[in-house]
A and B are shown apart, each in its own frame.
Chain A
């Protein structure tokens, strides 16, 4: 019986220095997949490698053999002393491995709960393994189901709806005020790293015009050039405030650079048009009282962090729903997986019946002598129908028993009753694995 296993390392079990050691380059990935294919004992393999995790998914008949093989592969390809990293590795098998893949794909195991980048990375890992012909029936089905589950989580829950970082939170608030940002003007007061990051997000959302105001004009010019904007002298900041809709302030000033009175006069000059002030400076640049003015929305770094914290809480609530969806999809996969255990048996049973049928048919046809082609065909169909009819119920039952985890005893008795041992060991699993591989390749494109 095939078992599924993961050997992995992630941000929860290892610091970045260790994770780096186990992350795969493109060529190492190809070599590793080749290694897995060559080793007897590993039937299927997928390697997922991102900056937060490296996970090797393997299917084989014996977990401990698979584990040793994977360790050997890691030692050989990554050129590391495996004993040193072993305490940071996790080994998951069967149901646990399946559960793990599903929650990884849906972003529930990610550093930022519910992020969707991982879905693309899982798809990618699967595609690469498929290209290398390292994927068979089981992983084909497993990964397809995991991707389906993750997509359902994305569409049916709000897990990825809210911003998970301060700069994204600022962008979302801007959108809540202005709708689309395409005809808005952004003003940067003080060109720091953080303001640049926030500006980049705003720029990606299509902000029309960027104005940069800095005490040192050279730095302002430089930043403005990056975003096709204009730079202005610090003294002209009042005019800039009048023109702008979104202001990111992060000067190094030790006192407020924008007080309520000044802002009130700016608002009059703006004829009350709404303005979004983002104060990410510490100490703060903008007097908090400015927020009391109508149509002025002032957020400081603490407010934005509170927004992110509240979003993360929402994500945790949504994660509960996500788990429910995932467990439905896991059940579906497990049902399929369990019936796979009896597929070789069914194949053997069918093959046996078919061989009996053909031998008997040949003998009878010889004895019957000159039958017309039509008559021969009729007899052939008749025998086929009888065999199929007889086997129909047992095959259905075997599948049902497989679902109820009772297959072992029935497999054993069926083998005894029909003398199937030879068929099972001789042509069973390796054979279907080969057959199904081509199917997996064809369907791989659809995932």
Chain B
């Protein structure tokens, strides 16, 4: 499996990379025929990634969501689905240009972590835990795309404010649309994050008899939750739109990354030692 798995991993890396490069060429040059090519490459990469994950679950006999390597792959997989849905269902093409390079980044990041499997203790085989991890990664994937949308918002806003009429912004959607997608994506991500925290607490209660143990991971998840709650609050209550909310969203994703990577490796311990 290892060699075959590695081959699939490298293949999907190549597809995501070439898709990202072609998307960027399409963004800067006005060759209209390039986007479909890049999209096909992305879809092939996505299929390869899917096969890789299916392969892992068949060989290791668990859904591959337990090692850091696995979660990174799944993370990129989820975000790709979000992209494809946004483009196919809502014609939000411009998202490809900025999100695909980020997804490649996450996939490539997985290269530095062992693709080996883990032996699952009996407690880890709980359905609560599985659902906890699944929902949190889906939430993270959604937040990642929302972050990209915020970045695009800031870019367009900046161009409009500075009166910079490069052909770049003619390829991007209007501020109104970007704001709308941002809001929708964060709403979905927030909903999933809330469920995930709840599921995690249930699992902890079930296994260790405590809902909340003030571990680093838990604290930072709480902070992330509060930031996104603040985003949704300002968006709903005060009708805010614009730079400030886009920045708040960026901050939210920064805490996601911090929690996902930094806390995982430098502030580990307790029940979250694997993640």
Q: Which residues of A contact B (CB under 8 A)?
A: 156-158, 161-162, 173, 175-179, 271-274, 291, 294-295, 297, 299, 303, 306-307, 310-311, 314, 318
Contacts and interface: CB of A to CB of B under 8 A. Distances in A.
B32 A176 contact: no
B241 A176 contact: no
Main secondary structure of the interface of B (DSSP, over half): loop
A170 to B, nearest CB: 13
B165 A176 contact: no
Contacts of B165: 306-307, 310-311
B30 A176 contact: no
Contacts of B239: 271-273
Contacts of A158: 30, 167, 170
A179 B174 CA distance: 5
Contact of B174 (A176, A291, A307): A176
B151 interface: no
Nearest to B30: A158
Interface stretch (B99-107, B155-163, B186-194): B155-163
A99 to B, nearest CB: 24
Contacts of A310: 165-166
Contacts of A314: 167
B175 interface: yes
Given A173-B160, A297-B160, A273 B241 contact: yes
B30 A177 contact: no
B177 A294 contact: no
Given A161-B170, A272-B241, A294-B244, A178 B30 contact: no
Nearest to A307: B165
Task: Give the 7 A-B residue pairs with the shortest CB-CB distance, closest first.
Answer: A179-B174, A179-B176, A310-B165, A295-B242, A271-B239, A179-B177, A303-B163
A271 B30 contact: no
Contacts of A162: 170
Interface residues of B, number: 23
B93 interface: no
B238 interface: yes
A176 B160 contact: yes
20 contacts: A158-B30, A161-B170, A175-B174, A176-B160, A176-B174, A178-B175, A179-B175, A271-B240, A272-B239, A273-B239, A273-B241, A274-B175, A274-B241, A294-B242, A297-B160, A299-B163, A307-B163, A307-B165, A310-B165, A314-B167
B243 interface: yes
A175 B176 CA distance: 9
Contacts of B242: 272, 274, 294-295
B31 to A, nearest CB: 9
A178 B169 CA distance: 14
A272 B239 CA distance: 7
A303 B176 CA distance: 22
Contact of B30 (A157, A272, A311): A157
Contacts of B55: none
A299 B162 CA distance: 10
Interface in B208-240: 238-240
A157 B173 CA distance: 19
Given A157-B30, A161-B170, A177-B174, 9 more contacts: A158-B170, A173-B160, A177-B160, A179-B174, A272-B239, A274-B175, A294-B243, A294-B244, A311-B165
A98 B174 CA distance: 42
Contacts of B176: 177-179, 274
Interface in B74-125: none
B30 A318 contact: yes
A297 B240 CA distance: 16
Contacts of B241: 272-274, 295
Contacts of B163: 299, 303, 306-307
A299 to B, nearest CB: 7
Nearest to B156: A176
B224 to A, nearest CB: 24
Nearest to B173: A179
Nearest to B164: A310
B233 to A, nearest CB: 13
A161 B165 CA distance: 13
Contacts of A318: 30
B235 to A, nearest CB: 11
Contacts of B240: 271-272
Nearest to A297: B160
A157 B29 CA distance: 11
A294 B170 CA distance: 22
A5 B178 CA distance: 53
Contacts of A274: 175-176, 241-242
Contacts of A273: 239, 241
A82 B170 CA distance: 48
Most buried by B among A157, A271, A272, A299: A272
B161 A291 contact: yes
A311 B170 CA distance: 11
A85 to B, nearest CB: 41
Interface string B130-165: 000000000000000000000000001000110101
A318 B239 CA distance: 41
B238 A271 contact: yes
Contacts of A179: 173-177
Given A271-B238, A273-B239, A176 B244 contact: no
Nearest to B244: A294
B238 A272 contact: yes
B133 to A, nearest CB: 37
Contacts of B173: 179
Nearest to B165: A310
Interface string B24-43: 00000010100000000000
A177 B241 CA distance: 12
A408 to B, nearest CB: 42
A303 B160 CA distance: 11
A35 to B, nearest CB: 45
A176 B169 contact: yes
A272 B174 CA distance: 17
Contacts of A306: 163, 165
A157 B169 CA distance: 17
